[in-house]
Chains A and B, each alone.
Chain A
């Protein structure tokens, strides 16, 4: 029996993404019509029942976020969709943006209706240039068909969505950096408090959700929060898009019920990753992008859901699953992760600006075989300081992968200190 689901991805590839007719023919906008007849608090209660953990990576309960914003006074309120899908190895939002954009639009309109917003913004990463244009076409089509713009479905409610392009900065995926970028300010995260729900876009109360979270909204309204929650598992409702890539046989986006598959399923099952390419062995896998934790073969039987993963020090994060085979040296890999964060740090707070390069320096020592025992203490202290004291999620999460490796593969670091690594220092046939 197939372990994959087809809810979020049911229309992908089957419809013309810019056709309202096609979208409606496959159930589109029925949730919107239903929502427009519902009390606002009813919709929020469905969101709460759904146990939807935010799909951007931080896994903040979406229903809770909605309820908080609902209780905040102030007008106007803005709806912002974070489509700055920047976590390396993550391309699940791309599937929705490209193949089913109207599900995102529908989710945003429902959110707009709940908060009585007039304007929504979708911030699409700069690299998705063609998608941005197509998305605008979809918006126009929706407006023409009366699902967007003035007097939506004759309900008297009006809402517009504006497309804003990112320009390549990973840190603009951080919600407050993203809002600054929309406001034409430098894309650096803001100091919090104040929280975005209170002082968000243009200093007004703002809801920021991920693409997939918004696409989940019509599903929740349609099937009810409880039914949605049951697709997943305890405290982590719904289905989830997972982008699998790296050294796996298949590189693609799959949809699974949270908690109904294990990591082993995701990597080895024919309909998912399909195993390791070229007959190699699995060495490790990186979950949730560069800011996520690294898992190892002995953790493969962990169910793919928040609670079970957390017990193993893992997480869903952005929904990325990057598979690495035996030819990858952990130290080399961590150096690349670190280079990424050095490149993407906004630079304003000390732990992130300065910390990443010291981590890189020390990892380089390990790579060259010149590290000492004290370097472990340094790495641990840097990682702890960055996680505890950085200003935003970027710095706080920059050492997550390093932490996983230090915890589970310390021996590999130690071997490097001795100049032993099957990848970096291969022995010849005589074992020299």
Chain B
């Protein structure tokens, strides 16, 4: 065991000594960046021993500066190490490497250094790095170790042997530095920006075998400042390196720097594409089915700590397809465990819904409904082609990785077909569904600081901005607050953006400073103010996709709602389509608002106008659709009789009929504060 603290001190002292021993002028070849680290940190081009020492002192005896000065001096001309060693890498090659990094054909950079105990471990690690599109640099004893195991080295193999000593590892640093200068807009002499770039943007890791000399330890330890995770495979005591096992080192390092391998192919013997989404599998085409009332079945997606999820692991608990009789119904539990740094518990239901699409993407697999109501079939053709239950799990896992590359780091799927296990799992899942429902239903606008915007419709309603809150879904009814939130997480520059509420301007009207600011900007300056809970003053703009239109009827002091499907006349004298034509297109029309059906049930519905008691007319179809929940809500509000007092087209299609009806039933709106 090497004690780190002592080693670093000794290493730095030794580097200083070497630095003091160099003399005369020197330079790296084929670079415009002089000694790159020294140049980036101080802006000073170093070409003599004197300048090197000055910069070394200026940078608080930075070990990188010492290493690069020593190497630039010793490797001049005949001092250059023979092949396979590359030594310092010139700008032209570097530009290509940088290109590959931006381009995505290289995902990141790795330094592998130290003295591997056996060459198998070293070559395994290097192979894993190759497979994960990392460009790997090698310095010191690791090079002969790999050569002895006949590992091919060189740029074309993405394994670059920098030099024979540990301090050749500094070339790894001068490469990161020059990438920052060439691609990152970092200016020489601005160490702050260099460090910020290295920490935030450079995708680099270091893997250290035991047996590094003191100079190497000092050099590698300094990488921590650049935000490079150092994965030690043991042999070092104290210090702040992460000790890990050889089989975990690459994955851990990449996870720590957020380097992700993109998955594109689904390795199963069945075509998978959205093109097959609508394909159904008829009974006579089916080999096996699950759920749908024929057998117990459920699906559940859970977020788990990274340590509990093995990416790509698919397990089948219970009988596989071979032991299933053709035409039978089998129990099924689909359990998807996911891990990801930005994954959160409240995303679970939204992601879980995707299982439905993914299974349907399979040419011979079919899926309907959700949760414990699912119904899944696999076709005879698919089974003939070799599809197993395991493959459905693979399909799900892989599609999640493809569709949510930034959100999910690991996905594992368990397909349960054992009856007892399914029953037990289902019971547990039902508990989770209930808990989720409670959480979402209970969510109030006051519980959150962020709302979400939706500007999807700006293609045809240029200045329209939808603001989506927990209690007010998008006016199209298709996007809830949670959907907006997850859409933002997945695509941070997309059409759903977080909107800070900011200071409350008017609690009843639902006017917020932050919302106003956002709406003004997103509407290109056209809309200055927006009240979320009022239709009379500065209501939200309307795109054209609204499920319903709410509008005030001054004559009865109330508000009516009409839905898109309702084709007849309304008491306002205008049909839905006439109204839609007048208020759509992104305009703000006081007295009118586009709303979703579910918003009618919200506590924030018409809050400023007095709530649901203002509702005087609603087509019977919607009334019927919402009946159960609406009645429940009205009971809670202490208006058990209000449901019957809300007119529909069977009671009134003209204003006169409506007035008569409302008078007769003594609708509360008549006695409320005047709307105008």
Asked if A and B are interacting partners, one says no
- Residues on A facing B (Cβ under 8 Å): none
Residues of B at under 8 Å CB distance from A?
none
